[in-house]
Structure 1
Amino acid sequence: MSPLRRAVVRLLLPCLLAVAGCTAPAPAGAPEREVRRAVADWSAAPPARLAGIPLEGWSYEVTSVRRDGARAHARARLRYALAGYDTAPAEADREVELTRGAAGWRVDGDRPAPGAPPQLWDQGDPAVARGAHALVLGVGQSPQTLSGIAQEADRAVPAVSAAWHGTWTGRVVVLVPGTLDAMAALLGRPADAYRGMGAVTTGRTGPGPAPADRVVVNPEGYAQLSGQGRRIVLTHETTHVATRAATTARTPLWLSEGFADWAAYRGGGPPPAEAAPALGRAVRRGELPAGLPSDGDFAFGGDPDALARAYEGAWLACRLIAGKWGEATLVDLYERAGREPLPTALADTVGGDLAGLTTAWRAALRTELGGATG
Structure 2
Amino acid sequence: MAGRGRVSGSGVVALCLLFVSLVACGGRSAADGAAADVQRTLHRRAAAVLDRDRAAFERTGAPSWFGNLAAVPLAHWSYRLTALHRTGDRATADAELRYRLEGYDHAPVTVGRTLGLSRQDDGRWYVDSDRPARKSAQQLWDQGEVLVVRGAHSLVMGVGQSREALRGYADLADRAVPAVSGAWGTRWPRRVVVLVPGSLEAMARLLGSPASSYRGIAAVTTGETGAPARAPADRITVNPDAYGLLGPLGRQVVLTHETTHVATRADTNAATPMWLSEGYADWVGYRGSGRTPAQTAPELARAVREGRVPDRLPDDEDFGFSGDASRLARAYESGWTACRLIAERWGEAGLGEFYRAVGAHGKRAGAVREAMRTVLGTTPEEFTAQWRDHLRDRLG
TM-score by length of 2: 0.85
Quote the residue 2:101 is aligned against.
82
Quote the residue 2:147 is aligned against.
127
Query: What secondary structure is seen at the aligned counterpart in 1 of 2:360?
Result: coil
Q: What is the CA distance between 1:31 and its match in structure 2?
A: 1.5
Partner Cα separation in structure 2 for residue 358 and residue 45 of structure 1 = 59
Q: What is the CA distance between 1:301 and its match in structure 2?
A: 3.2
Q: What is the CA distance between 1:48 and its match in structure 2?
A: 5.1
Maintained 8 Å contact 2:200/2:239 = yes
Q: Given the superposition, is the C-alpha separation of residues 302 and 211 from structure 1 closer, same or farther in structure 2, using an over 3 Å criterion? A: farther
Of 28, 31, 46, the residue aligned with 1:43 is 46
Query: What secondary structure is seen at the aligned counterpart in 2 of 1:224?
Result: coil
Maintained 8 Å contact 2:221/2:258 = yes
Superposed, which structure 2 residues align to 1:3-82 within 5 Å?
27-28=28-29, 29-46=32-49, 47=66, 49-82=68-101
Maintained 8 Å contact 1:130/1:150 = yes
User: Which one-letter code corresponds to 2:256 in the other structure?
Assistant: T
Maintained 8 Å contact 2:297/2:333 = yes
Q: Is the counterpart of residue 310 in structure 1 residue 331 in structure 2?
A: yes
Moved more, 163-172 or 319-328: 163-172
Q: Is the counterpart of residue 271 in structure 1 residue 292 in structure 2?
A: yes
Quote the residue 2:368 is aligned against.
342
Partner Cα separation in structure 2 for residue 262 and residue 36 of structure 1 = 49
Q: What is the CA distance between 1:70 and its match in structure 2?
A: 1.0
* Cα deviation digits, residues 72-100 of structure 1 (max 9, x gap): 11111111121111223212111122210
Maintained 8 Å contact 1:192/1:301 = no
Partner Cα separation in structure 2 for residue 84 and residue 71 of structure 1 = 39
User: Which one-letter code corresponds to 1:40 in the other structure?
Assistant: H
Q: What is the CA distance between 1:207 and its match in structure 2?
A: 4.2
Query: What secondary structure is seen at the aligned counterpart in 2 of 1:87?
Result: coil
Q: What is the CA distance between 1:45 and its match in structure 2?
A: 4.2
Maintained 8 Å contact 1:251/1:338 = yes
* Cα deviation digits, residues 334-356 of structure 1 (max 9, x gap): 11101212211111111111111
Q: Is the counterpart of residue 137 in structure 1 residue 157 in structure 2?
A: yes
Partner Cα separation in structure 1 for residue 48 and residue 310 of structure 2 = 55
Q: Percent identity?
A: 54
Q: Is the counterpart of residue 362 in structure 1 residue 388 in structure 2?
A: yes
Q: Given the superposition, is the C-alpha separation of residues 207 and 122 from structure 1 closer, same or farther in structure 2, using an over 3 Å criterion? A: closer
Q: Is the counterpart of residue 152 in structure 1 residue 149 in structure 2?
A: no
Q: Is the counterpart of residue 262 in structure 1 residue 283 in structure 2?
A: yes
Maintained 8 Å contact 2:294/2:395 = yes
Maintained 8 Å contact 2:118/2:127 = yes
Which structure 2 segments of 5+ residues have no match? 1-8, 18-23, 50-65, 362-366
Partner Cα separation in structure 1 for residue 153 and residue 79 of structure 2 = 29
Q: What is the CA distance between 1:267 and its match in structure 2?
A: 2.5
Maintained 8 Å contact 2:200/2:240 = yes
Moved more, 184-193 or 120-129: 184-193
* Cα deviation digits, residues 32-82 of structure 1 (max 9, x gap): 211122112212242454132111121111111111211111111111121
Q: Given the superposition, is the C-alpha separation of residues 38 and 353 from structure 1 closer, same or farther in structure 2, using an over 3 Å criterion? A: same
Quote the residue 1:5 is aligned against.
none
Quote the residue 2:273 is aligned against.
252
Query: What secondary structure is seen at the aligned counterpart in 1 of 2:216?
Result: coil
Partner Cα separation in structure 1 for residue 329 and residue 345 of structure 2 = 24
Q: Given the superposition, is the C-alpha separation of residues 207 and 150 from structure 1 closer, same or farther in structure 2, using an over 3 Å criterion? A: closer
User: Which one-letter code corresponds to 2:249 in the other structure?
Assistant: Q
Of 251, 257, 267, the residue aligned with 1:236 is 257
Moved more, 354-363 or 230-239: 354-363
Partner Cα separation in structure 2 for residue 169 and residue 269 of structure 1 = 28
Partner Cα separation in structure 2 for residue 234 and residue 300 of structure 1 = 20
Partner Cα separation in structure 1 for residue 150 and residue 227 of structure 2 = 29
Of 271, 274, 288, the residue aligned with 2:309 is 288
Quote the residue 2:345 is aligned against.
324
* Cα deviation digits, residues 135-189 of structure 1 (max 9, x gap): 1000001111111111111111110111112621100000000011000111111
Which structure 1 segments of 5+ residues have no match? 1-8, 18-23
Query: What secondary structure is seen at the aligned counterpart in 2 of 1:108?
Result: strand
User: Which one-letter code corresponds to 2:233 in the other structure?
Assistant: A
Query: What secondary structure is seen at the aligned counterpart in 2 of 1:124?
Result: coil
Partner Cα separation in structure 2 for residue 361 and residue 45 of structure 1 = 58
Q: Is the counterpart of residue 165 in structure 1 residue 180 in structure 2?
A: no
User: Which one-letter code corresponds to 1:260 in the other structure?
Assistant: A
Partner Cα separation in structure 2 for residue 176 and residue 117 of structure 1 = 15
Q: What is the CA distance between 1:332 and its match in structure 2?
A: 0.6
Of 87, 93, 97, the residue aligned with 2:116 is 97
TM-score by length of 1: 0.90
Q: Given the superposition, is the C-alpha separation of residues 265 and 347 from structure 1 closer, same or farther in structure 2, using an over 3 Å criterion? A: same
Maintained 8 Å contact 1:157/1:171 = yes
